[in-house]
Every structure is written in structure tokens, then in C-alpha cells.
Amino acid sequence: MALSLNSMMSFPSYKLSSKPLNLRSPRVLMASTLHSTSKEAENLKKPYSPPREVHAQVSHSMPPQKVEIFKSLDGWAEENILVHLKPVEKCWQPQDFLPEPESEGFYEQVKELRERSNELPDDYFVVLVGDMITEEALPTYQTMLNTLDGVRDETGASLTSWAVWTRAWTAEENRHGDLLNKYLYLSGRVDMKQIEKTIQYLIGSGMDPKTENNPYLGFIYTSFQERATFISHGNTARLAKEHGDLKLAQICGIIASDEKRHETAYTKIVEKLFEIDPDGTILALSDMMRKKISMPAHLMYDGRDDNLFEHFSSVAQRLGVYTARDYADILEFLVGRWNVEKLTGLSGEGRKAQDFVCGLSSRIRRLEERAQGRAKQSSIIPVSWVFGREIKV
């Protein structure tokens, strides 16, 4: 899901020292020297090429000796993280919530689905489609996890607990996009070809969430994102129920429950890192929040709308599916979940990072209130996902 926080807030950036507890390695590689100007972004987006990241990309920022921390935690992960996966035979599958194609009543079931979906407004479908497209870019997220030093799947079928988790997490997540995609197809309310093009563009664009091959940063990012998707799917469930589509509410709700279970696993990993290396972990959390959490579909493009992600975000904000307040609430939740305020024995830099992180959620809320006061007048634009019908953004 999405927020345009960059224009709302900025934080001073400072380089962390190279002390042993420093999260960053001196072997920082600049994979790109492009600056994020709109002109350069425009030049990169050619008819045969999807949008690309244009910020300076950093790789392998974790000191090599810290890789050993994650190798030593493999047994712990087996006992404490893999338990948050469900056996395939006990998992729900998309077909559990869809018309049965082998049934004589299939066409009647599709007709009933379409009748229910007719009660839902177009702006709701814009948000539901955006959620589905985000889920369908799953190959990008598995790729991101497999960039993380010390926990990546080195062979594609590694038996380490970290690799087993990544593959099984991906397999569970794969059901989300499948289910929403099939529901939207059967509803007849959306332009599936435009949606399919958007998915292809998005996967082709990839994603650099500024986690720098660093599992400290990576697991903080996934903790935040799993909670964000839990909130978003929960709110689409609520709205579907309000509009009378109880089956769609059930669909969105069951996806939200998966996201909550995955959130529990990722937050438990970060909790363990706080236990083992509180200074390194608080520096990582501060670093990630200073850079701001980029949303996984921020390079969304349909071949027509250069600002598709911002428009999708605006509709989600207006409907209350995912808002700036949710961003602050997630941070506040994680700070409490990890007992950040109670950390002791930190270095000077660690204490500064602690103060910054603990005061950030209230600062975000104040800035969001000011931004709302200065909010420009809404506009009406055509959205290709709903056959070019006009939507308020």
C-alpha cells in the first residue's frame, strides 16, 4: 500500500561511525549514481521499458562479521519462525472461495458473484485492484529476501531455516494474488488486460527498498510491510461487508489473517536481534525510518498514467483503506512490540537513534495534520483499471 510521505517530512541524515557495533560496512558499493529527478525518471520510462529506481543504490552495508549472527540463529529460526508456517494440507486455497467450475451450478454462482460485485463502487475496485497487483508482484519480494546476506537461499533449494522460510512464505503469499485476481476476473467490473499489463510492468521494474543486502534492515522492512498489508486487507474486508458483499469480505479477511501471522514471524526475528545486538538493531531501525519505508508497488505503471501509484494511494487514503495515520500507528506499534523505549546499555549513537525512533510517530501525525490542512483540491481522473471511468483522487 502507499503513502506520499516524502513531501510531508524529511529528516537530517548523518553517517554512522565505523565502530564495531556500527550496522554499516565500510564496503559500501554505489550501484547507481542516478539522482531521483522527475526528468531522469521520465527519460528512463521508454515504451519498451518499465519505470526504474533512480536513487543511489547501496549494497552489502552489513559488516561481514555480523553474517555469523544469522548463521548462528538457524536453529533458533527452525524452532521459533518456521512454526508460523501452516502445512499445505491445512492451508486454505483460492478455490475454497470461488465458484466451482466443475459444478452444474457454476454459471449461477458466477452470476451471484457479479450481482454482489455490482453493489461495490468503482473507487473500491481501484483500491482492491491496487492491492491485488501489489500481491501479484510476489517474485520481486522473494528476490528481495534472497538479496539479504546471511539468510538468502544460496542454491534455490537450500535446507537452512532461513531459506525454508523464504520459500514457504512465498508459497503462502502466492495464494493471495491468485484469489483476488480470479475474483476480479469473474466480477466483470475491471479491465483485466490493463491490470495484467500493470503487473508485468511492476515485476519488470523490481524494487529497491533500501535494505542494502542487510538482514537487519530487511526484516525491519518486512515487519512494517506485513502489518501494513494486514491493515489494508482488513479495511477492504470491512468496506466489502458494508456494501453487502460478504463473500468478498471473507476473502479479504482471510488474506489479512495470513498477513498477521507473517507479521508475527518477522517481528519475532527483529525482537531476537534486539536481544542479541540492541545497538546494531536500533541503529538499523533508525536508518530505515529516516529513509522512510517505501511501499512495494511504488513503481506501479499501466502504460498510461505516470502517476498511477500516487492516484491509487490517494483513493486508498480517501476510503480509509491505508492512510498516513496508519503509517504512524504501525511505527508506534512496532516500537512498543520491541520495547524500544526500554532499551538500555546503548552507545551514544544508539541513544540518539532510540530518541529519534520513539518520537517519530507523534511527529508524523503532526506533519500529517498540517499536510491535511494544506491538501490541494481533489481532482477527477480516468483510471484504466475500471475501463477509463473517472475516479476522484
User: Taking 90 as the threshold, does the pLDDT of residue 54 lie above it?
Assistant: no
- 44 falls in which pLDDT band (50, 70, 90)? low
- Of 149, 191, 262, 368, the active-site residue reads 262
User: Taking 80 as the threshold, does the pLDDT of residue 306 lie above it?
Assistant: yes
User: Taking 70 as the threshold, does the pLDDT of residue 32 lie above it?
Assistant: no
Q: Catalytic annotation on 135?
A: yes
Q: Catalytic annotation on 212?
A: no
- Of 53, 135, 326, 349, the active-site residue reads 135
User: Taking 50 as the threshold, does the pLDDT of residue 146 lie above it?
Assistant: yes
Taking alpha carbons only, the member of 202, 211, 204, 163 closest to residue 309 is: 202
- Computed over every residue of the chain, the mean pLDDT equals 90
d(CA 37, CA 35): 6
Q: How would you write 139-198 as a 3-class SS string?
A: HHHHHHHCCCCCCCCCCCCCCCHHHHHHHHHHHHHHHHHHHHHHHHHHHCCCCHHHHHHH
Q: Catalytic annotation on 226?
A: yes
Per residue in 121-138, pLDDT tens? 999 999 999 999 999 999
Per residue in 236-250, pLDDT tens? 999 999 999 999 999
d(CA 360, CA 329): 11
Lowest-pLDDT range of 131-145, 178-192, 210-224, 357-371? 357-371
Q: What is the pLDDT of residue 378?
A: 84
Instruction: For residue 226, give the DSSP letter.
Output: H
User: Taking 80 as the threshold, does the pLDDT of residue 67 lie above it?
Assistant: yes
Q: What is the pLDDT of residue 377?
A: 77
- Of 172, 208, 212, 258, the active-site residue reads 258
- Of 60, 74, 78, 92, the active-site residue reads 92
Q: What is the pLDDT of residue 45?
A: 52
How far from chain centre, in Å, is Cα 274? 22
- Of 136, 226, 302, 349, the active-site residue reads 226
Burial class of 12 by CB neighbour count within 10 A (0 to 12, 13 to 18, 19+): exposed
Span 182-205, mean pLDDT? 98
Q: What is the pLDDT of residue 40?
A: 42
Lowest-pLDDT range of 111-115, 259-263, 290-294? 290-294
Instruction: For residue 26, give the DSSP letter.
Output: S
Q: Catalytic annotation on 341?
A: no
More confident residue, 381 or 15: 381
- 263 falls in which pLDDT band (50, 70, 90)? very high
User: Taking 90 as the threshold, does the pLDDT of residue 269 lie above it?
Assistant: yes
User: Taking 80 as the threshold, does the pLDDT of residue 211 lie above it?
Assistant: yes
More confident residue, 284 or 294: 284
Residues 6+ apart with CB under 8 A from 82: 161, 164, 165, 168
Q: Catalytic annotation on 176?
A: yes
Q: CB neighbours (10 Å) of residue 28?
A: 11
d(CA 226, CA 266): 8
CA atoms within 13 A on the CB side of 132: 24
d(CA 87, CA 84): 10
Q: What is the pLDDT of residue 283?
A: 98
Q: Are 312 and 130 in contact (CB under 8 A)?
A: yes
Q: Catalytic annotation on 326?
A: no
Q: What is the pLDDT of residue 36?
A: 39
Per residue in 334-346, pLDDT tens? 999 999 999 999 9
Return the ∠ at Cα 2 (arms to 256 and 371), rounded to 5°.
125
- Of 123, 149, 172, 173, the active-site residue reads 173
- Of 166, 211, 229, 236, the active-site residue reads 229
- 371 falls in which pLDDT band (50, 70, 90)? confident
Span 83-96, mean pLDDT? 98
Q: Catalytic annotation on 60?
A: no
- Of 131, 178, 208, 259, the active-site residue reads 259
Question: DSSP letter string over 285-344?
Answer: HHHHHHH----TTTT---SS-TTHHHHHHHHHHHHTSS-HHHHHHHHHHHHHHTTGGG--
